[in-house]
Each structure stands twice: as structure tokens, then as C-alpha cells.
Structure 1
Amino acid sequence: MTNVRIGVMYDRDWAPEGLPGFARQAEALGVDDLWVVEDLGWSGGVSAAAVALGATERVRVGIGIAPAPLRSPALLAMELATLARVFPGRLVAGIGHGVPEWMAQVGAAARSPLALLEETITSVRALLHGDRVELAGREVRLDGVRLVHPPAEVPPVVAGVVRPRSLALSARVADGTVITEGHGPVDVENTRALTAKGGGASDHTLTVFAFACVGDDPDEVARALHPHTEAHGAWLGRPQDEVFTVSGTAAQAAERIGALAAAGADTVVLRISGAEPLGQLRAVLGAVGQRRGPEGQ
């Protein structure tokens, strides 16, 4: 199997107070990444990342995804810099457009979502690098802002995007791209092609979120995944049975992770459904380790 980072998502529907224990147990199982979610009405991404980082010692924590319309770039950079200084090398900052309907709910709909995302990512990255930022953009205005305590180790800023113009933007201004659940190997290959065409650097990373359910009973696995694949299929505009999942037995799940990695994914983040998510994670990591072989190849 191509070497790939394996992450797990702390699902937005799980209670926030369960995050520290879950993070510690996931780290003990050997997972590479833990990703937290920022969706309107659920938990705050920066605070959840702080909780997860504080509860662990090694695991990398990703924020997936902070909506640009809800965030002042200066304040977001300040928050990220604080985490990056306290937990160097262990943070990934995801920024995206935000769900348009949710942004409208809070009066934060952008006039130009593409301009807002580009200006937010550009200014946040510059601030994290210690630059003094002057920007009079279409959506963002910063008048000589500089961080007093920029991080010595700047965290990667990645864009959570899907459509071609946004993927091109990510390639141009972000350190990596995150694509949502439901996208399979063909989608990953297409995303890689679009980011390369958009001028993405050779080290531009690709993180893929994936619905996951692992078990020996196919009917039980299908029942657990059904509400997610049904809703996401409608959102993606594809039949439910074409929504990609990391599912089946542990060996089958490992094969599906391998297919995403072979298509160009650097990190696969599992959004686990069904009973005993940590038990499922243990089974997947064991199967992935077996496929890699004794030397991780």
C-alpha cells in the first residue's frame, strides 16, 4: 500500500465532553490525525482543536473546516498562532467557503465567496509567517496588521473546497486541499489533476474525508451508512450507491483506503458510523498495517 496518513474525525454529533477521552484513545491506537468539525450550531473548530491538542501528545489535529465568512482573518490567525506555538508541528488549519445557507442564516454571506476565501487564506498565511499585512481587497481589509507572537513552525493552511474554480484557488494560495466525504479514487485523481493545472506546488497535500463503517455483517454496515450516503448523494448530485465509503470488513476497508492513496490522497480521514467507533478504528489500522507489511511499505 502507498504510504498514507490515516486520520479519524470526531463526528459533530458526538458530545464535546467526549472529545478528550476519544482523542487519547485514538492516539494510543496509533492514528496519525484527529480532525474536528466546525459546522454552524455544532462545536467551534478552534476550541475543539485546543481540547484535542491538550489531551494528546503526538497526534496531528486538523480543523475541518473553518468557514471564511464567519472568521476575521486577523482573529483566526491569532488563534491558530497560539495553538501552533503551544503545540508546534501538530496543527492543520482548514478554511473553506462555509455552507451558503448557514452563512445566510447568520448574515455572513459573502458577496464574492471566491475572493473572500482567497483573501482570507492569503492573509492568514502571511500573518502566521510574521508578515505585516496590508490588504484592501474585495472582501478583506487589513491595515498594517502583524502578529506579535507568530509561530516558529507555521502550520499548513488548507482549503476545504470541491468545485473546479475553488480547487484552482486552493492550488494557488493554500498548502493543501481537503475534499469532503463521498469522493472516491476517480474524484481524487480529478482533484489532483485540477490542483496541478491550477499551479499547485509539488508538496501541495490532498486530504480526503471518507464515511466509514467496519464490520463483518454487510447489512449492519449498510444500515449504519445509509443516512449519510443518502444525504450526501443528494448533495453531490450522484446516486446513493456511487457515494464512496471506506466500509465492509477490516480488510475491505483497508483496500479502499489503499485505492484512495493510490489515486493521490496523502491523508484519509475516517468519519466512522455505527457502534464502537474506536473498535472499528483499531480494526482498520490493524488491517492497514498488515497491507503495508513489516516495514510500512
Structure 2
Amino acid sequence: MTNVRIGVMYDRDWLPEGLPGFAREVEALGVDDLWVVEDLGWNGGVSAAAIALGATERLRVGIGIAPAPLRSPALLAMELATLARVFPGRLVAGIGHGVQEWMASVGVAAKSPLALLEETITSVRALLRGEKVELEGREVRLDGIQLVHPATEPPPVVAGVVRPRSLELSGRAADGTLLAEGNGPDDLAGIRASIRMGGAGADHSLTVYAYCSVGDDAEQVARTLRPAVEGQAGWLGRPPEQVFTVSGRAAEAAESLRALGAAGADTVVLRIYGPEPVRQLGAVLDALAR
């Protein structure tokens, strides 16, 4: 099919009670990953990951992403270690800055978001390995904290980041990087370069979210994706036509997915818009197999 891992997002707007059934359906299709979302006011990422893991047998589940300001690194490590011990080898933990306006609205905005993210990722990874952590950082303080039940197989901790300094931080502190929707093959070389500036090696993984809509009517596909694409264009600071999507007819979507893999993506996670997302996912997987 392809050397790229294929994932699908359980969109934040979909009802939480639909997650177990969706997880089982996409696992049956043969998809590699299911990624859940933690955005303020929507769903809890750790609880959603637990639901998806419990509903399936082999699916890898990614948390994309846990905002660093919302949790103590000790609590986050405890939650992740519990999942990792019960479902070894099936968890990826994404941590990011969080939307600064949202963090401010609940009184947890960091004075230095870069310091908070690096200190959180570094300490969470150490705690998951069973280390005792002493840290008097700019944003994080841990006084000899150690998990009684660390992960027997520590899950990869990836940084959900966008800007060059944060990408460099990811290369320095994380096991991998998670990229937001809209980044295409032409973006990946520069992103990889920023990550390498932080010291990342060849084993540093790159996961790419991608907007997806599959159908034979090109105009309908464009209409379906337009609100998301235009909103993301403003956030990324680029025109809408430069927001990359995995969309169109199934064969076209499959080619776009292959292009991301050829450009260096290790995992592509489809955020599907429009009716019957499981059917759309199946059409892309069938096209990849052909």
C-alpha cells in the first residue's frame, strides 16, 4: 500500500459517545492510527484515548495534543503511564503549547511558552522511563518526583508545534513532531531542517495532519473543505490555495497522501470532512492498495 502509516482523526465536533464504534470501524478497515483531539471546551484527550484503546485490539492511538499549561507534568505522566502499561506499544502522546488565548481564559497562560513546553516534554519523558525528576525550571518545578508504575514500554512523546523555534525545540526535546493541517510536501524539507537544528536524529518521527474530503464532484469537495481551509490559511499566514489537502477523487487523495510520504512524513492523519467519513477513509485506503 504505502510505507507511510495512515491515521484518521476523531474530530472534536463529533459526539464522544460515537468514538468506540468509530474506532472499531476504522480498525476493521486496516488503518494504522486513530488520533483524538484535546481542545478547550471539547473533549479530554487522555480520556478519549482510553476509550479508543479499550474499544480496539491493535490500533495505535495518538493524543493530539495535550496543552502543556493545562496539566502538571507529573499528572500527565501518571495518566500516560497508566495507559501505556495497560496498552503497551499502542499510545503516542502529543504535547503542545495550547492556544494562548484559550490558556489565558482559564488562567494558565505561561510566561514563557517555549520553556514550559520543553520542560514539560523533558520531564514527562523522564518520568515515563521511571527516572526520579528534580527540576527547578523557568515554568516547571518537580522536587524528586518518581512514578511508582512507570511505563514498561514508554510511549513516544511528540511535540505538536508550528513555528521554527518550536520545531527546533521539538528536535531537541521530543521523540517526534506533529504538524498541523495545511502543511504539504513543499513545506516538509524546511520543517525537517528546523527540527534538525534542535539535534533530532533520523529516528525523530514526523506526523502530519491533513484535511480530507473524498468525492467525484470537485466543486462539492471544495465547498465542503472551504471553511476549514480558509480558517487555517489565516492561522498559517498563507493564501487558501497554499493550504495542502488530501482531497478529490479517491485516486487523487491517495496520490496526495503518497506525496506527503515521499517528502518525509512518517504518518499522515486524515481529518475527514463531509458525510460518511468511514466510507471516505475506505475509498482512500482502497485507492492506495491499487
Other-structure match for 2:83: 83
Other-structure match for 2:154: 154
Other-structure match for 1:168: 168
String of CA shifts for 1:175-208, please: whole Å, max 9, x gaps: 0000000111111121112112221021000000
For residues 163 and 117 of structure 2, what CA distance do their matches in structure 1 show? Answer: 13
String of CA shifts for 1:212-247, please: whole Å, max 9, x gaps: 000111111111101100111111111111111000
Superposed, 1:42-81 pairs within 5 Å as 42-81=42-81
Other-structure match for 2:213: 213
Other-structure match for 2:93: 93
Match of 1:279, as an amino acid? R
Match of 2:232, as an amino acid? H
Other-structure match for 2:193: 193
For residues 133 and 108 of structure 1, what CA distance do their matches in structure 2 show? Answer: 22
Other-structure match for 2:286: 286
Contact preservation (8 Å) 2:215, 2:249: yes
For residues 278 and 189 of structure 2, what CA distance do their matches in structure 1 show? Answer: 30
TM-score, normalised to structure 1, is 0.97
For residues 256 and 33 of structure 2, what CA distance do their matches in structure 1 show? Answer: 18
User: What runs of 5+ residues in structure 2 fail to find an aligned partner?
Assistant: none
Q: For 1:265, what is the secondary structure of its paired residue?
A: coil
Residue 234 (structure 2) pairs with residue 234 (structure 1): yes
Other-structure match for 1:20: 20
User: What runs of 5+ residues in structure 1 fail to find an aligned partner?
Assistant: 291-297
Q: For 1:143, what is the secondary structure of its paired residue?
A: strand
Q: For 1:171, what is the secondary structure of its paired residue?
A: helix
Contact preservation (8 Å) 1:2, 1:262: no
TM-score, normalised to structure 2, is 0.99
Other-structure match for 2:124: 124
Q: For 1:235, what is the secondary structure of its paired residue?
A: helix
Identity %: 75
For residues 115 and 221 of structure 1, what CA distance do their matches in structure 2 show? Answer: 41
Distance 1:5 1:161, change over 3 A: same
Count of residue pairs brought into register by the alignment:
290
Match of 1:31, as an amino acid? V
Contact preservation (8 Å) 1:119, 1:140: yes
Match of 1:189, as an amino acid? A
For residues 245 and 199 of structure 1, what CA distance do their matches in structure 2 show? Answer: 30
Match of 1:130, as an amino acid? G
CA RMSD of aligned residues (A): 0.8
Other-structure match for 1:34: 34
For residues 187 and 55 of structure 1, what CA distance do their matches in structure 2 show? Answer: 35
Contact preservation (8 Å) 1:35, 1:62: yes
Match of 1:126, as an amino acid? A
String of CA shifts for 1:34-87, please: whole Å, max 9, x gaps: 000000000000000000000000010000000000010000000000000000
Other-structure match for 1:177: 177
Match of 1:3, as an amino acid? N
Note the C-alpha offset of 1:141: 0.3
Runs (4 or more) in structure 1 with deviation over 3 Å come to: none
Contact preservation (8 Å) 2:2, 2:288: no
Note the C-alpha offset of 1:2: 5.3
Match of 1:11, as an amino acid? D
For residues 35 and 194 of structure 1, what CA distance do their matches in structure 2 show? Answer: 24
